[in-house]
A and B are shown apart, each in its own frame.
Chain A
Amino acid sequence: KQEVTQIPAALSVPEGENLVLNCSFTDSAIYNLQWFRQDPGKGLTSLLLIQSSQREQTSGRLNASLDKSSGRSTLYIAASQPGDSATYLCAVRLLYGGATNKLIFGTGTLLAVQP
């Protein structure tokens, strides 16, 4: 059974700092991995999607890496801003065959960027 874990559960940093969020998964048979952010009272917004054949994806100040063999992904946020404060979740899409589309989510990291 695929399990997805995120460490740390909560993180507080001063504005301007670079930071890394971690995601680990137990089964390397995945199609892709996605990083989401969730603001209070809102749904999840997709940030980055890494295909199983890729090593990393970048979008602005965000960089996500994937090491499938070790079951790890990291989300790097450069020059953090107060507006980055949110809960960050990772999710893996399971590889069961052509029709599968099931995503398993981690428990999230609550990030607070202090001005």
Chain B
Amino acid sequence: DAGVIQSPRHEVTEMGQEVTLRCKPISGHNSLFWYRQTMMRGLELLIYFNNNVPIDDSGMPEDRFSAKMPNASFSTLKIQPSEPRDSAVYFCASNRLGDTRSPLHFGNGTRLTVT
């Protein structure tokens, strides 16, 4: 089991540019989560999907953020246009919906720096 795979590991971009973060969940997991972590705000849930369908996007900060899950093995989080305050570590996580004993597995994150 390769675990949750995120890419890129680091992203440095200039304000106004589009940023796309990618995630491959663990095979067999049908819930996928995007979190953002900063020193000031800790770990925040941005959006999560069950069976590729977005269930709760109330944590998405604003319209500049969008997320998609076109199939069970791939998801993207896009920021357009990016701003310096978007700088954070973005984590993707997955588990099995309907199994209360299924722990949440995290990827190693993407560290985003917007200058």
When C-beta atoms are compared, the residue in chain B nearest to A46 turns out to be: B103
Q: Do the beta carbons of A103 and B50 come within 8 Å of each other?
A: no
The stretch of A20-28, A37-45, A66-74, A77-85 in contact with B is: A37-45
Mostly helix, strand, loop or mixed at chain B's interface?
A: strand
Q: Do the beta carbons of A103 and B45 come within 8 Å of each other?
A: yes
Q: Do the beta carbons of B108 and A51 come within 8 Å of each other?
A: no
Chain A CB within 8 A of B18 CB? no
**B46-84 at interface with A (beta carbon < 8 Å):** 48, 50, 55-56
Chain B CB within 8 A of A114 CB? no
Q: Do the beta carbons of B109 and A43 come within 8 Å of each other?
A: yes
Chain B CB within 8 A of A102 CB? yes
Q: Chain B residues with Cβ under 8 A from A31's Cβ?
A: 100
> For the complex, what is the distance from the CA of A110 to the CA of B100, rounded to whole Å?
27
Interface size on A, residues (CB 8 A): 26
Q: Chain B residues with Cβ under 8 A from A100's Cβ?
A: 55
Q: Do the beta carbons of A46 and B104 come within 8 Å of each other?
A: yes
Residues A44 and B31 in contact in the complex (CB < 8 Å), given A31-B100, A102-B48, A105-B43: no
**B75-115 at interface with A (beta carbon < 8 Å):** 91, 93, 95, 97-98, 100-101, 103-109
> For the complex, what is the distance from the CA of A43 to the CA of B6, rounded to whole Å?
10
Chain A CB within 8 A of B42 CB? yes
> For the complex, what is the distance from the CA of A44 to the CA of B3, rounded to whole Å?
12
Question: Which B residues form the contact surface with A (CB < 8 A)?
Answer: 4, 31, 33, 42-43, 45, 48, 50, 55-56, 91, 93, 95, 97-98, 100-101, 103-109
A78 to chain B, nearest CB (A): 22
Q: Chain A residues with Cβ under 8 A from B55's Cβ?
A: 99-102
Chain B CB within 8 A of A89 CB? yes
Q: Chain B residues with Cβ under 8 A from A51's Cβ?
A: 100-101
Chain B CB within 8 A of A10 CB? no
Q: Chain A residues with Cβ under 8 A from B31's Cβ?
A: 101
When C-beta atoms are compared, the residue in chain A nearest to B56 turns out to be: A102
Would you give 23 A-B contacts (Cβ < 8 Å), ordered by A? A32-B101, A34-B103, A43-B107, A43-B108, A43-B109, A44-B106, A45-B106, A46-B103, A46-B105, A49-B101, A52-B100, A89-B43, A99-B50, A99-B55, A100-B55, A101-B31, A102-B45, A102-B48, A103-B104, A105-B42, A105-B43, A105-B45, A107-B42
